[in-house]
Amino acid sequence: MAYKCGSPLNLGGWGVRVTGQLLAVREANCGPERRCLKRGKMQLRRDPITQSWVNLEDEGENVARSGDAPCPFCPGHEALSPQTLYVYPGGGSSWQVRVTPHLRPVYRIEGDPQRRAEGIYDKMRSLGAHEVVVEHPSHDLQLSRQTDENVAQVLRAYIARVKDLKKDRRFRYVTVFRNQGALAGEEFEHPHSEITATPFIPRRVGYELRSSLRYFELKERCLTCDIAGQEIAQNIRIVEQLDPFVAFCPFAARVPYETWLLSLRHHCSFEEDLTSWDEQLRFARLLKSVLMRLEAVAPTHHLVLHSSPNLGAKFERGGIWKTLADDYHWHLEILPVIPSKAKSYALKEVYYNSLLPEIAAQALRNAPASK
């Protein structure tokens, strides 16, 4: 599976796009046709109409690798991804969770954005961070099959890295995403998530921030809190609840079995909210259960964290988000990829979903949550 010319970076319809030559080859390190791709020179350009940022690349160089090349994320192969940004030690292995820079990053962490104009157009360097969270030493153990404790340690790795990247004032937004399955653009077979930090706020998150702000100005309440309250009261789209967390299929689901996970306790920031081990463990248990339910009906999916922007960023106009702590609510979105039904990306901005979320939620409630 490859990111081809004009394909999205698989962030669940965020409006961040990557175009140019082949940008990633899924078999690069773990698949049967092991190839790697040396990235070309990249730059970010903004669409003046939609305000979306597009990551463009000059032609890169494909470099063939031996079919016997080892997985760079398996224990004992750390020399293939030598820089460790975060590690949680394991028992039999030297580590249980490990974070390393992406082998072929879409964003480069060195330097400044170098924002500049070209007539009416805006562009800048492809500045940012792109990291890989190796979720387990085992090459074949997906997140849904791991222990609750290990999933909680993966969440701790997310929290630590998001906090650290938000200390960098060049980055306006930091998030976590994972693509599971070839159709979702999974790049490595070894279980992993990815973290990106960018000097801009992705378009969909910008929509959420503005909608949340408008709702708060009108009603002085959090929009997502009110949505969660209504979902619990109606109890027809709830997938699972484990206080203080809930999982439900949204009212206007974009794709079949789309599921959101969030805390019923209001907070705008994922990394500032999940601070205790007990809550990390409970959220891990819910996440694992939902992933297992989804895998019974849709094993391929995107998972994306939506959290507050970096208010300490150099280019952030802090006054715009002065009520952010009250009006925005962090959450996880999981968007399955179902080839036979998922026409949602054909029209890009007009979603088509062949399955009512009420029926999807019922199917997920009935799906096995453990094995």
13-47 burial: b if 16+ Cβ within 10 Å, else e: bbbbbbbbbbbbbbbbbbbeebbbbebeebbbbbe
Q: Is residue 239 part of a domain?
A: yes
User: What is the domain count for the chain?
Assistant: 1
As a whole number of angstroms, the distance between CA 247 and CA 239 comes to 5
Q: Where are the beta strands (DSSP E) in 215-330?
A: 238-242, 245-248, 259-263, 301-306
Q: Which residues pair with 196 in a beta bridge?
A: 130, 175
Q: Is residue 185 part of a domain?
A: no
Q: Is residue 346 part of a domain?
A: yes
Convert 313-324 into a string of H (helix), E (strand) and C (coil).
CCCCCHHHHCCH
Q: Which residues pair with 162 in a beta bridge?
A: none
Q: Is residue 261 part of a domain?
A: yes
pLDDT score of 170: 93
Please report, as a single letter, which amino acid is at residue 93.
S
Domain with 303, as residue range(s), is 221-366
Q: Is residue 312 part of a domain?
A: yes
**Residue (of 267, 263, 279) closest to 222 by Cα position:** 267
pLDDT score of 210: 94
Q: Which two tokens stand for residue 22?
A: 């082949």
Q: Is residue 248 part of a domain?
A: yes
pTM score, whole prediction: 0.85
Looking up residue 350, the CATH number of its domain turns out to be 3.30.428.10
pLDDT score of 35: 41
184-208 burial: b if 16+ Cβ within 10 Å, else e: bbbbbbbbbbbbbbbbbbbbbbbeb
Q: Which residues pair with 100 in a beta bridge?
A: 132
Q: Is residue 108 part of a domain?
A: no
CB 60 within 8 A of CB 222: no
Q: Which two tokens stand for residue 162?
A: 């998001």
As a whole number of angstroms, the distance between CA 192 and CA 290 comes to 18
At 206 the three-state DSSP class reads helix
Give me the tens of pLDDT residue by residue for the chain, a chain 371 residues long: 232 333 345 454 455 544 443 233 333 333 433 344 455 678 889 999 888 888 887 655 554 444 567 899 999 898 888 799 999 987 656 899 999 999 989 898 888 888 889 899 998 888 999 999 999 999 999 999 999 999 999 999 999 999 999 999 999 999 999 999 888 888 899 999 999 999 999 999 999 999 999 999 999 999 999 999 999 999 999 999 999 999 999 999 999 999 999 999 999 999 999 999 999 999 999 999 999 999 999 889 999 999 999 988 876 666 678 899 999 999 999 999 987 544 444 455 566 777 888 899 999 999 988 76
CB 25 within 8 A of CB 315: no
Q: Is residue 110 part of a domain?
A: no
